[in-house]
Chains A and B, each alone.
Chain A
Amino acid sequence: MATATYTGTEKPNYLNWKTSVASWLLTYDHKRIAILYLVSISIFFLLGGLAAAFIRLELATPQGDLLTSDVYNKMFTTHGVIMIFLFLIPSIPAVFGNFLLPLMIGARDVAFPRLNLLSWYFFMAGALLVLIALFRGGIDTGWTFYTPYSSSFAKGEVSLAIVGVFLAGFASIFTGINFLVTIHKMRAPGMTWFRLPLFVWAMYATSLIQVLGTPVVAITLLLVAVERTFRIGIFDPNLGGDPILYQHLFWFYSHPAVYIMILPAMGVISEVLSAFSKRRVFGYHFVAFSSLAIAIIGFLVWGHHMFSTGQSMYAGIVFSFLTWIVAIPSAIKIFNWMATIWKGRVHWDTPMLYALGFMGLFVIGGLTGLHLAAMATNVHLTDTYFVVAHFHYVMVGGAIMGYLAALHFWWPKMTGRMYPEGWGKLAAMLVFVGFNLTFFPQFLLGYMGMPRRYHSYAEEWAVLNVLSTAGSSVLGFGYLLPVIYLTWSLKYGKVVTERNPWGARGLEWELVDPVPDPHNFERIPIVTRPAYDYAHPEEPTGFVPKPRPVVVGGKDG
């Protein structure tokens, strides 16, 4: 990585104390595993983005002229499968959760370091199978794998891709279990539940979903593969199965999965807004419990994906009711974040720009979710570009803005180098503008009825689609910039010599070396203050106790 090999004259850090390839591939260090994940998912992000570029190019004209229908269908499937399963779901938990959780709670590592490494291998094995399936002709089921299309009609390596997603699912489960146990059992002395940074609360809620939800989708997808291979009737009505059952099982996970993507980003936003406003997060308890409320209620709303399928109307009414309710905790977070900025000292650095951008895009994504929570408008809008726009505002505008905020905020801690601030700001603004230009027109297209997953479309929708495609080129450039300048900064960025370049609160800034020690803390720290105690700059959040003096020849203690 960035810093020079350890020569024995400087204090070693987690990056340079061992440098062999094996020391990386067999590491149990949560920070190195985070870097392994970071490198892998960045590659997948670029691949998924490439597929998106083909989609937008095809849609620049109403006729299906650039790609054939089949190739187009494979492109949006590739885009969805890679972005959801290989990028968004692992993104913040596996990279920043892994890197930060032990540092934030004052632990040496996660509870099960070997399981943590195993999780990365499962993830990579799953990703490899998915990529093999994609390169051996691709699959055209859409990322949702709806039956009976996926089980009885689609050609290609559907089963292989499903086994890949199944394996990647286990990576997610392992990470979730690890974090739950770590948060319960490994908090440093004095790190009470209500002194935890809100990022840790968000990771806790996320882990609950990962552990409870992922097994369901894993088994469900495996059943699709079973039906496909052995023709055992589970979902295909011609074999005696029920296709709607598949949708219930699939969305039981895949709706909460949206919260796996957005909750960690919300945790990041709490950290960043507080650090760059120099103020304690307003309404700490409300923000913390709203994460749990989202995780729990989020498990009971899956049927809102199925209002037009023919599920019982009364079931639909309950699902709609709960969907309106689950919007409330998100609103609580937004208002508390606004109050956090109020009377703060706001620094407009790059991470803050991404955090503010998150607020803007997530609010639009969340509020357009109301049109979809409402049953009657849902019927009109479901499976149109309105839905595409809505979930991109939440999952890209929300989750990826949070991811980029985190990447810039903790970059000096992870690499020991600072990213170039000017380029950072430019990229943040390009992403914000490009994103809105790409996805806002899609709300209008959706209300007019343009269906999603269409290879060709009616003439009157052309102008808005051209706008969207133009916006996507700005957005693509905005995403490429950080890839370039962050890589550049590994070698040429300003070396960070201080522990806390942002003047932020939190153990990872106050008590950990500029680039963390392989073992994080010399001794387990003792926490004495609540999180975000910006009101008392003279009081550190905690301290690392001095070693007990050894009395030679005397009795210990």
Chain B
Amino acid sequence: MWNFPLVPPTASEEGVGISLLYWTITGLAVVFGSIVLFGVIYLAVRYRADNNAVDRSNAVDSDLRVELAWTLVPLVLALIMFGWAAKLYADIYAPREGYYEVFVIGKQWMWHCQHPNGVRENNVLTLPAGRLVKATIISQDVIHAFSIPAFRVKRDAVPGRYNAMYFTPTKPGEYHLLCTEYCGTKHSEMIGKVVVLPEKEFQAWLEKGGQGLATATTSMGGGAAAGGGTLTLAQQGEQTFKALGCNACHMNPNSAVKVPDITKTWGSDIMLEDGRVVKGDEAYIRESILNPGAKIHKGYQNLMPPYQGQVSEEQLVQLIAYIQSLADSSTGGN
């Protein structure tokens, strides 16, 4: 009851800058707000009707100079704040290099997180301190939003599209993980925690297959056990690839069907039949699995059956990791 902080913890590099921006705007707001609030009270009291001791002469009712002053000063300050905020925004949403990637799938009403080495977590996301993290986020049903207030970041989990965000956790500890986009009955129970571990402990945790450290259910709620086998995400993807029969045509040198070389898909520019060029990224691979006819590789025919409704979001993430790993190994690593 008596534990009521008035500010959230700040546990990411990006969060430091965003907090500074927050308090700067708050400072400006306090200055302008005070001018108006105290100004109005002062004027309304000083010029009250029964006070005849004040000077009311020369009460002009317009003046271009003051109009310009109270237009231009706020305008200049606004433009500075705008630019600063846009820069910080780009830091968390624009593509960056050299990250540790996690996939996050939102569904009514839980968060499912997948690490590249195959470790899976529900309603818990364990991360290393001091490393840039890329979270690739998608929803399986309605729109959710993946929010970590201590990092000052959030991103909507939208069905049908991968959204990415970047952040660098700095302080080891446990933080709220929240759904902030209303998603139905148990919206307020779609919560969990982010556990930040020092780099060494995190590596040890990963190697143990995500066992041991982040299993306790805490006051923050949520907290399902971490799990996962001995396979990496890409290896799980390879299994899925075979299980779905993709290998009958793709990655089959004896295939009777002429198919694009998926070892070259990831990260390349793909020429389409209609002349457009698209990037071979998560969104393209996802769409090409679910609805292959949407973007046809130049020189190929639309022979593949659509997999809409037959592949889960988890499997799609695995398949993407697999296809990514093919490109990485063929080009000698990332």
A: residues with CB less than 8 A from B are: 64, 69-70, 73, 140, 142, 146, 148-149, 152-154, 236-238, 242-244, 277-286, 307-310, 313, 316-317, 320-321, 324-325, 327-328, 331-332, 334-336, 338-339, 341-348, 352, 356, 359-360, 363-364, 367-368, 370-371, 373-380, 382-384, 444, 447-449, 451-464, 535
Known: A341-B43, A383-B181. Is A153-B176 also a contact (CB below 8 A)?
no
| C-alpha gap A447/B149 in the complex (Å) | 8
User: Contact: A448 with B81, CB < 8 Å?
Assistant: no
Residues of B within 8 A of A317 (CB): 86, 89
Known: A243-B143, A346-B47. Is A375-B89 also a contact (CB below 8 A)?
yes
User: Contact: B189 with A456, CB < 8 Å?
Assistant: yes
User: Contact: A360 with B62, CB < 8 Å?
Assistant: no
| C-alpha gap A154/B141 in the complex (Å) | 12
User: Contact: A284 with B187, CB < 8 Å?
Assistant: no
Tell me whether B188 is interfacial, beta carbon within 8 Å: yes
| C-alpha gap A5/B92 in the complex (Å) | 69
User: Contact: A69 with B82, CB < 8 Å?
Assistant: no
| C-alpha gap A145/B37 in the complex (Å) | 37
Other-chain contact of A343, B59, B66, B92 (Cβ < 8 Å): B59
Residues of A within 8 A of B4 (CB): 460-464
User: Contact: A281 with B184, CB < 8 Å?
Assistant: no
| C-alpha gap A69/B303 in the complex (Å) | 47
- Could you list 13 examples of A-B contacts with CB < 8 Å? A149-B184, A153-B141, A238-B159, A243-B158, A279-B59, A341-B43, A346-B43, A376-B92, A377-B21, A377-B25, A456-B188, A456-B189, A462-B4
User: Contact: B142 with A153, CB < 8 Å?
Assistant: yes
Known: A73-B185, A455-B188. Is A308-B156 also a contact (CB below 8 A)?
yes
| C-alpha gap A335/B32 in the complex (Å) | 10
Residues of A within 8 A of B92 (CB): 376, 379
| C-alpha gap A242/B87 in the complex (Å) | 28
User: Contact: B67 with A342, CB < 8 Å?
Assistant: no
User: Contact: B56 with A343, CB < 8 Å?
Assistant: yes
User: Contact: A453 with B187, CB < 8 Å?
Assistant: yes
Tell me whether B186 is interfacial, beta carbon within 8 Å: yes
Other-chain contact of B156, A309, A316, A370 (Cβ < 8 Å): A309
Of A317, A454, A535, which is in contact with the most chain B CB atoms at under 10 Å from its CB?
A: A454
Known: A280-B61, A281-B61. Is A64-B188 also a contact (CB below 8 A)?
yes
| C-alpha gap A286/B17 in the complex (Å) | 37
Residues of B within 8 A of A464 (CB): 4
User: Contact: A328 with B75, CB < 8 Å?
Assistant: yes
User: Contact: B47 with A277, CB < 8 Å?
Assistant: yes
| C-alpha gap A221/B273 in the complex (Å) | 36
User: Contact: A344 with B47, CB < 8 Å?
Assistant: yes
Q: Considering the complex of A and B, which 7 residue pairs feature the smallest CB-CB distances, nearest first?
A: A449-B149, A237-B160, A374-B85, A376-B88, A375-B89, A367-B29, A343-B59
Other-chain contact of A379, B59, B152, B186 (Cβ < 8 Å): B152
| C-alpha gap A236/B147 in the complex (Å) | 23
Tell me whether B268 is interfacial, beta carbon within 8 Å: no
Residues of B within 8 A of A70 (CB): 185
| C-alpha gap A328/B181 in the complex (Å) | 30
Residues of A within 8 A of B267 (CB): none
| C-alpha gap A455/B186 in the complex (Å) | 8
Other-chain contact of A383, B48, B67, B180 (Cβ < 8 Å): B180
A79 CB to closest chain B CB (Å) equals 13
| C-alpha gap A347/B47 in the complex (Å) | 9
Tell me whether B33 is interfacial, beta carbon within 8 Å: yes
CB-nearest residue of chain A to B17: A376
Tell me whether B310 is interfacial, beta carbon within 8 Å: no
User: Contact: B81 with A339, CB < 8 Å?
Assistant: no
CB-nearest residue of chain A to B63: A283
Tell me whether B243 is interfacial, beta carbon within 8 Å: no
Tell me whether B331 is interfacial, beta carbon within 8 Å: no
User: Contact: A458 with B1, CB < 8 Å?
Assistant: no
User: Contact: B70 with A332, CB < 8 Å?
Assistant: yes
Tell me whether B155 is interfacial, beta carbon within 8 Å: yes
Residues of B within 8 A of A309 (CB): 143, 156, 158, 163
Which of B5-13, B111-119, B120-128 faces chain A? B5-13
Instruction: With A324-B78, A370-B28 given, name 5 new contacts (CB 8 A).
Output: A282-B61, A309-B143, A317-B86, A356-B40, A383-B147
Residues of A within 8 A of B163 (CB): 309-310
Residues of A within 8 A of B17 (CB): 376
Known: A447-B7, A451-B147. Is A332-B153 also a contact (CB below 8 A)?
no
Residues of A within 8 A of B22 (CB): 371, 377, 380, 447
CB-nearest residue of chain A to B43: A341
The residues in B between 28 and 46 inclusive whose CB is less than 8 angstroms from any CB of A are: 28-29, 32-33, 36-37, 39-41, 43-45
Residues of B within 8 A of A378 (CB): 85, 89
| C-alpha gap A73/B109 in the complex (Å) | 15
User: Contact: A140 with B184, CB < 8 Å?
Assistant: yes
A422 CB to closest chain B CB (Å) equals 18
Other-chain contact of B159, A140, A237, A360, A363 (Cβ < 8 Å): A237
CB-nearest residue of chain A to B45: A346
| C-alpha gap A284/B156 in the complex (Å) | 44
User: Contact: B88 with A69, CB < 8 Å?
Assistant: no
User: Contact: B40 with A360, CB < 8 Å?
Assistant: yes
Tell me whether B90 is interfacial, beta carbon within 8 Å: yes
User: Contact: B81 with A279, CB < 8 Å?
Assistant: no
B153 CB to closest chain A CB (Å) equals 6
Residues of B within 8 A of A535 (CB): 59, 61
User: Contact: B85 with A320, CB < 8 Å?
Assistant: yes
CB-nearest residue of chain B to A359: B40
Residues of A within 8 A of B178 (CB): 449, 451
| C-alpha gap A367/B33 in the complex (Å) | 7
| C-alpha gap A459/B218 in the complex (Å) | 12
Known: A338-B36, A356-B40, A460-B3. Is A324-B66 also a contact (CB below 8 A)?
no
Known: A64-B188, A69-B186. Is A370-B158 also a contact (CB below 8 A)?
no
Tell me whether B171 is interfacial, beta carbon within 8 Å: no
Tell me whether B71 is interfacial, beta carbon within 8 Å: yes
User: Contact: B179 with A451, CB < 8 Å?
Assistant: yes
User: Contact: A327 with B61, CB < 8 Å?
Assistant: no
CB-nearest residue of chain B to A374: B85
User: Contact: A316 with B8, CB < 8 Å?
Assistant: no
Tell me whether B284 is interfacial, beta carbon within 8 Å: no
A388 CB to closest chain B CB (Å) equals 12
User: Contact: A462 with B1, CB < 8 Å?
Assistant: yes
| C-alpha gap A239/B9 in the complex (Å) | 41
CB-nearest residue of chain B to A368: B29
Residues of A within 8 A of B220 (CB): 458
A42 CB to closest chain B CB (Å) equals 29
Tell me whether B182 is interfacial, beta carbon within 8 Å: yes
User: Contact: A363 with B47, CB < 8 Å?
Assistant: no
Other-chain contact of B78, A282, A325, A368, A447 (Cβ < 8 Å): A325
Residues of A within 8 A of B219 (CB): 458-459
User: Contact: A444 with B158, CB < 8 Å?
Assistant: no
Other-chain contact of B86, A320, A356, A452, A459 (Cβ < 8 Å): A320
User: Contact: B71 with A332, CB < 8 Å?
Assistant: yes
User: Contact: B88 with A328, CB < 8 Å?
Assistant: no
B255 CB to closest chain A CB (Å) equals 30
Of A148, A376, A378, which is in contact with the most chain B CB atoms at under 10 Å from its CB?
A: A376
User: Contact: B82 with A324, CB < 8 Å?
Assistant: yes
Known: A243-B158, A328-B75, A346-B49. Is A341-B28 also a contact (CB below 8 A)?
no
User: Contact: B185 with A69, CB < 8 Å?
Assistant: yes
Tell me whether B205 is interfacial, beta carbon within 8 Å: no
Other-chain contact of A377, B5, B85, B180 (Cβ < 8 Å): B85
Known: A313-B93, A346-B47, A383-B180. Is A374-B145 also a contact (CB below 8 A)?
no
Residues of B within 8 A of A364 (CB): 33
A457 CB to closest chain B CB (Å) equals 7
